[in-house]
Homo-oligomer: A and B are copies of this chain.
Amino acid sequence: MSIPTSYRRVVLVRRPPGEPVESDFRVEEVPMPEPKHGQVLVKVAYLSLDPYQRGRMREAAGYAANVALGEVMTGGVVGEVVKSLHPTFKVGDIVEESLGWQEYAIGGGPRMRKVDSSLAPISTANGVLGMPGMTAYFGLLECGEPKPGETIVVSAASGAVGQLVGQIGKLMGCRVIGIAGGAKKCAFVKNELGFDACLDYKAEKDLDKALLAVCPKGIDVYFDNVGGEISDAVLRNINFFGRVALCGSISQYNASSPPMGPRLLGTFVGKRVTLRGFIVFDFVERYPTAMRQMGEWIKAGKIKYREDIVEGIDKAPRAFIGMLRGENFGKMLVKM
């Protein structure tokens, strides 16, 4: 395979105080690096755009290091090893690792993993068989603890994680209600993914009332991807002994300081609600089991997934900004 002498990548050049704009990023061409001992050179096939990446653009460090100004944006990729000085990975291997928004990258860190391209399209290593898949699996099963017959509500229901949460919930014997933005997404969630119902938060005038209508036995588990007013409505209607998996808060990511909302913590006392924040990496030792299970479900046609793919690394900033607005429809990917 012929390897070019330069490649393109996206670096962060400004920390946005609110919603990011394209000029917060710069697409730049840089010389092709050479892998050192223990490293590989990866030709990226797909870049994964995920909401957590907004957090890495901040000044303050969160649970992982932020992106320094002038440095490549954080992001998971799947691609092919085109050069290898690594003892395990060889040229031609398809691998997945968090290598950033770039067309080529030096890989070979402890979290690099080989992707079995015979199982499913390799893009799924960034989705259902990757971080979003593991997030849905462990977040729902470990933090949500759903029991057959219970009602689960998941926000951002057509997104990378949400679409899987609902389908896993159905496989667990639960009633599953999605919340998504727009009639198209809701129709997909209900008709294609098999959720029992999906509420369009943009169309519903009274989300509390709409939730009560589709959750006649209340809400036992809430898988929260969005925070804000949508979550307020769900949390006001959560059942006694309800569980909340705090996965994300995309409605708040562009805020420079926490916006105001109704104080609901007090209502969780008498209802004995448990809320648990989690990060998928906490479950990393159990990924193999979960990957096997997800793979089996996919092969059996029990789990479907939808991807939203743009082409070209230069499209990444715009696609990312759109995703934070909810403009994507399915797992957001950039194909190189």
Contact = CB atoms under 8 A, between A and B. Distances in A.
Interface of A: 55, 62-63, 224, 227-228, 231, 240, 246-249, 252-253, 257-279, 282
Contact of A272 (B231, B272, B278): B278
Contacts of A279: 269-270, 272
Contacts of A276: 272-275
Nearest to A261: B263
Nearest to A245: B269
Contact of A265 (B246, B269, B271, B282): B246
A263 to B, nearest CB: 4
Among A55, A228, A246, A261, find the residue whose CB has the most chain B CB atoms closer than 10 A: A246
22 contacts: A55-B270, A63-B270, A63-B271, A63-B272, A224-B265, A227-B263, A227-B265, A246-B265, A247-B269, A248-B269, A249-B263, A249-B265, A252-B263, A253-B266, A257-B262, A259-B262, A260-B261, A269-B278, A270-B279, A272-B277, A273-B276, A274-B275
B263 A246 contact: no
The winner among A224, A246, A265, A271 for most chain B CB atoms within 10 A is A265
B240 A269 contact: no
B282 A275 contact: no
A62 B273 CA distance: 13
Contact of A266 (B63, B227, B262): B227
Contact of A275 (B240, B247, B252, B268): B268
A82 to B, nearest CB: 34
A277 B273 contact: yes
Given A246-B268, A249-B269, A263 B228 contact: yes
Nearest to A276: B274
Nearest to A282: B272
B264 A258 contact: yes
Nearest to A231: B265
Contacts of A261: 260-263
Contacts of A257: 262
Given A63-B270, A270-B279, A278-B272, A262 B260 contact: yes
Nearest to A226: B266
Contacts of A63: 240, 270-272
Given A55-B270, A269-B278, 19 more contacts: A62-B270, A63-B270, A227-B265, A228-B263, A246-B266, A246-B269, A249-B263, A253-B266, A258-B264, A260-B260, A260-B262, A261-B262, A268-B277, A269-B277, A272-B276, A272-B278, A272-B279, A272-B282, A273-B277
Contacts of A252: 263, 266
A248 B266 CA distance: 6
Nearest to A235: B265
A266 B240 contact: no
